[in-house]
Amino acid sequence: MNTGTLYLLPCPIDERTGVWDVLPAANRAVMASLDYFIVENIRTARRFLSRAALGRPVESLAFAELNEHTDTGRELEELMRPLREGRSAGVISEAGLPGIADPGAAAVAWCHRNGVRVVPLIGPSSLLLALMASGLNGQSFAFNGYLPVKPPERAKAIRFFERRARSEGQSQLFIEAPYRNDKLLAQLLEVCAPETLLTVAADLTGPTEQIVTRPVSAWRAAARPALGKRPAIFILG
């Protein structure tokens, strides 16, 4: 029996932006052909597909959740079973690209283990958009995910990544839960050397998008942006 295909479906980073303002029109036909979706959050995914206006009622579609609570053994095997039986599926993240800092990577890994074709579609990546607009090194860079939550451990991590940025010339990218953004920015400005370059990119692709790169000394002298509840990328260079 032929297996289905797993399509990786990007979605807008900022919900205030129109779906087809940031996704290529070629994605529409693929999305419209699918009736089974493996998603990080069903409510968010249904809202995205409704906004995409694919010409079929969202109520007619089937959804399975794959998130940090999913058992990657038996539960994952069950939600991937339709692909074994020849049904294609789409993976949808909360925002941006599935599989990048996203539990959808487990579905992709399953496909590689089981000989199922994986097709990534084009869409916005907050990491690459921030790096593109930062003016920092786009030839050598690393995405480091989330820093530790506790201030002493976070300070240690900041110093480590700052040293790496300066010694190797490698841009260091990381993210934070939006409600902790302001604390992270404050600690970056406290810990980093004055000459270290820091990029803060918030609300990418949205109407309040803000991307600023400055030396830490200039950040300390300027009014800080209010980042609470705003998705943001931080880059040290």
Do 88 and 116 have their domain in common? yes
Q: Are 159 and 191 in contact (CB under 8 A)?
A: yes
Instruction: Give the pLDDT confidence score for residue 15 in this predicted structure.
Output: 87
Do 135 and 79 have their domain in common? no
CATH number at residue 49: 3.40.1010.10
pTM of the predicted model, to two decimals? 0.90
Q: How far apart are CA 199 and CA 76, in angstroms?
A: 37
Residue 173 tokens, joined: 């990218």
Do 151 and 87 have their domain in common? no
Reported as a single tens digit per residue, the pLDDT across 8-56 is: 999 999 989 899 999 999 999 999 999 999 999 999 999 999 999 999 8
Residue 231 CA neighbour count, 13 Å, CB half = 18
Q: Are 2 and 100 in contact (CB under 8 A)?
A: no
Element (H, E) at 44: helix 42-52
Domain stops at, among 120, 137, 160: 120
Find the domain containing 25 and state its range.
5-120
User: Mean of the per-residue pLDDT values for the chain?
Assistant: 94
Widest distance between CA atoms in the chain: 65
Q: Are 70 and 107 in contact (CB under 8 A)?
A: no
Do 110 and 130 have their domain in common? no
Do 81 and 137 have their domain in common? no
- The SS3 of residue 218 is helix
Reported as a single tens digit per residue, the pLDDT across 182-213 is: 999 999 999 999 999 999 999 999 999 999 99
Domain count, the chain: 2
- Asked if the model's pLDDT at residue 1 lies above 70, the reply is no
Q: Pairing relation of β-strands 171-175 and 141-146?
A: parallel
Confidence of residue 67 (pLDDT cuts 50, 70, 90): confident
Reported as a single tens digit per residue, the pLDDT across 144-183 is: 999 999 999 999 999 999 999 999 999 999 999 999 999 9
Domain stops at, among 120, 154, 169: 120
